């Protein structure tokens, strides 16, 4: 098992919160949240319908609940009726739709799909969103990463995503308000966790801006052009084997690392996340609203802590990683290093060990880069 995946398996139990009824109130999960326009149009409603139908088909055995207008047990009949009703809604009828694996509004879902559309009257001044939740253990399954990546690409293409993010997150119950303090506390400890209990709250401020980066960062071509275009993005990441750039119909999907990382506010930040942030930071919301509303149950994100959370990856590469090392020079920090001069080159080096030269490489001189862990 890969070292990063093994570490995630060891840490995951620290992110599950249960109470006296033994129901998981907060749990670690995988999410993908995408923002798009014209959610009021029949064309987009048909695409949303196809997304829900696909999710239902693949995970039907796990799904128990549907919320459309009211909470009810999920059955084939009421799922079909909801699909028919949504396609008949007026362009100025806002609606939300949710299917999930939890049988209680106070239990965190392992599997879910949710969305909220916009009004036609708002035109291009508000965004719709669609979100999926999968258990983090999906990564342990055969081809789990590739299947999760396929879901992200599919959703991006279906709804014409303008931007979005995917990675690890604290999953709260559908009635999430009393559990926001737990999300807040965990996000202080683990910078890799996406704070996403209120994806609907950013619908206006995400016009022309992104929420930030995570394991996967989705950005459409119009936004990419503001950074100099696709070729500039690819060139910016050309020296990093831990960054993978994928394409969807409207833009790019940047994957930061082979596996998602939790990181640690006291020890380290995921180096690939920092690298992605350094490129996409100019697109981030300049003055974000609070991540949480007020809660009487404990500390939540207010203005100052929200600003700090958005800026958590704002580090120069040389702050989180030692300077690059040329071949035949001594290793300056014990741990894992990689070189773009050789595929799958990630290797553990001891302090003072000479960094090898890769002969007959198209990259020319061999440069070694810190992999972000020791």
Q: Over the stretch 16-35, which tens digit does the pLDDT of each residue have?
A: 887 767 788 999 999 999 99
Tell me: pLDDT of 201 over 70. yes
What gap in Å lies between CA 46 and CA 321, rounded to an integer?
A: 46
Average pLDDT for 115-132: 86
* pLDDT band per the 50, 70, 90 thresholds, residue 323: low
**What is the chain's length?**
374
51, 184, 287, 289, 292 from 304: Cα distances, Å: 37, 13, 11, 10, 12
Residue 108 CB contacts under 8 Å (≥ 6 apart), including other chains: 24, 25, 26, 27, 29, 102, 171, 172, 173
Judged against a pLDDT cut of 90, whether residue 238 lies above it is answered with: no
C-alpha Rg value of the chain to the nearest Å: 21
Q: Are residues 306 and 329 in the same domain?
A: no
Strand partners for 97: 115
pLDDT at 169 over 80: yes
What is the CB neighbour count within 10 angstroms for residue 160?
Answer: 18
- Which residue has tokens 């989705």? 218
User: In the structure, what pLDDT confidence band is assigned to residue 260 with cuts at 50, 70 and 90?
Assistant: very high
Asked which of 319, 340, 360 is the last residue of a domain, the reply is 319
pLDDT of residue 52: 98
Q: Are residues 196 and 246 in the same domain?
A: yes
**2 versus 137: which is more confidently predicted?**
137
Please tell me which residue, 18 or 221, carries the higher pLDDT value: 221
H or E element in which residue 33 lies: strand 24-36
Residue 289 reports pLDDT greater than 50:
yes
Same structural domain, 158 and 287: yes
CA distance 200 to 53: 22
Q: Which of 319, 339, 360 is the last residue of a domain?
A: 319
Tens of pLDDT, residue by residue over 98-121, are 999 999 999 999 999 999 998 888
Overall average pLDDT of the 40-65 stretch: 97
Average pLDDT of the residues in 51-70? 97
- The verdict on 305 and 335 lying in the same domain is no
- Cα 334 from Cα 124, distance rounded (Å): 51
pLDDT band at 319, cuts 50/70/90? very low
104 with 182, same domain? Answer: yes
Calculate what percentage of the chain has a pLDDT beyond 90: 65
What digits encode the pLDDT tens for the residues 331-360?
877 888 878 778 778 888 888 889 999 988
Residue whose token pair is 């109130």: 25
Summary mean pLDDT of the chain: 90
Q: Answer yes or no: are the C-beta atoms of 260 and 167 closer than 8 Å.
A: yes
pLDDT tier, 66 (very low <50, low <70, confident <90, very high otherwise): very high
- Answer yes or no: do 117 and 237 share one domain: yes
Which of 92-96, 134-138, 285-289 ranks highest by mean pLDDT? 134-138
**Residue 315's pLDDT band (cuts 50, 70, 90):** confident
72 and 175, same domain (yes or no)? yes
DSSP state at residue 157: H
Domain of residue 195 covers 3-319
Percentage of the chain exceeding pLDDT 70: 94
Indicate whether 237 and 363 sit together in one domain. no
Same domain for 217 and 364: no
The pLDDT of residue 291 is above 60: yes
Q: Tell me: do 263 and 186 sit in the same domain.
A: yes
Q: Looking at the structure, tell me whether residues 303 and 357 fall in a common domain.
A: no
What's the pLDDT score for residue 374? 56
Q: pTM for the complete prediction?
A: 0.84
Burial of 356 from C-beta contacts in 10 A (0-12 / 13-18 / 19+): middle
Is the confidence at residue 321, as pLDDT, over 70? Answer: no
Question: Which one has a higher pLDDT value, 363 or 43?
Answer: 43
134-142: average pLDDT: 95
User: In which band, very low, low, confident or very high, does the pLDDT at 363 lie, cut at 50, 70 and 90?
Assistant: low
If pLDDT is split at 50, 70 and 90, which confidence band does 372 have? low
Assess whether 18 and 120 both reside in one domain. Answer: yes
The pLDDT of residue 44 is above 60: yes
Residue bearing the bigger pLDDT, 322 or 168: 168
pLDDT at 152: 98
Tally of domains in the chain: 2
């Amino acid at each position: 098992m890969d070292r990063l995946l093994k570490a995630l398996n060891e840490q995951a139990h620290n992110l599950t919160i249960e109470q006296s009824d033994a129901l998981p109130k907060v749990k670690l999960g995988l999410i993908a949240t995408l923002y798009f326009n014209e959610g009021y149009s029949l064309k987009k409603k048909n695409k949303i319908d196809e997304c829900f139908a696909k999710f239902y088909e693949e995970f039907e055995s796990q799904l128990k609940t549907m919320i459309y207008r009211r909470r009810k047990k999920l059955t084939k009949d009421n799922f079909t009726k909801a699909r028919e009703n949504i396609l008949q809604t007026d362009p100025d009828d806002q609606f939300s739709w949710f299917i999930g694996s939890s049988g209680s509004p106070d239990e965190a879902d392992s599997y879910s799909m949710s969305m909220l559309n916009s009004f036609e009257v708002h035109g291009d001044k508000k965004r719709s969103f669609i979100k999926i939740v999968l258990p983090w253990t999906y990564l342990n399954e055969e081809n789990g990463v590739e299947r999760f990546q396929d879901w992200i690409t599919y959703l991006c293409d279906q709804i014409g995503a303008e931007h979005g993010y995917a990675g690890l997150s604290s999953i709260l119950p559908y009635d999430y308000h009393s559990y926001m303090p737990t999300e807040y506390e965990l996000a202080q400890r683990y910078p890799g966790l996406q704070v996403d209990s209120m994806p609907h709250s950013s619908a206006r401020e995400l016009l022309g801006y992104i929420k930030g980066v995570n394991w996967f960062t989705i950005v459409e071509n119009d936004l990419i052009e503001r950074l100099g275009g696709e070729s500039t993005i690819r060139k910016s990441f050309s020296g990093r084997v831990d960054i993978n750039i994928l394409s969807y119909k409207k833009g790019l999907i940047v994957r930061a690392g082979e596996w998602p990382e939790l990181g640690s506010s006291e020890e380290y930040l995921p180096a690939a996340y920092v690298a992605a942030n350094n490129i996409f930071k100019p697109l981030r919301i300049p003055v974000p609203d609070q991540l949480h509303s007020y809660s009487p149950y404990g500390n939540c994100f207010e203005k100052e802590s929200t600003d700090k959370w958005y800026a958590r990856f704002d580090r120069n590469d040389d702050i989180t990683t030692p300077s690059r090392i040329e071949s035949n020079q001594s290793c300056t920090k014990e741990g894992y290093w990689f070189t773009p001069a050789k595929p799958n080159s990630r290797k553990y080096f001891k302090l003072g060990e000479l960094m090898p030269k890769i002969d007959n490489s198209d990259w020319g001189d061999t440069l070694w880069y810190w992999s972000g862990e020791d």
